[in-house]
Amino acid sequence: MPLTRSELEQFILKTKKEIEDLRNQEWNTTDPKELKKLKRKRKQLQYLQLWHLSQLENLED
């Protein structure tokens, strides 16, 4: 079952908040391993956000 427009918008906002939180954590960490882990997670969330945006765009067509 495809996601609705409102569900996609909620996911986009949630993902955006998570990305911002991870960026803040990156700024505050001094551990290189932790920084790498945070960057990896942020990158995954950015790809997920792009996918959600793409799905939203397809709904509008």
pTM: 0.86
Please give the residue range of the domain that contains residue 10.
Answer: 5-60
Tens of pLDDT, residue by residue over 4-55, are 899 999 999 999 999 999 999 999 999 999 999 999 999 999 999 999 999 9
Asked if 45 and 18 count as a contact pair (C-beta separation under 8 A), the reply is yes
Can you give the pLDDT at residue 61? 63
- Overall number of domains in the chain: 1
Helices (H), 1-61: 5-28, 32-60
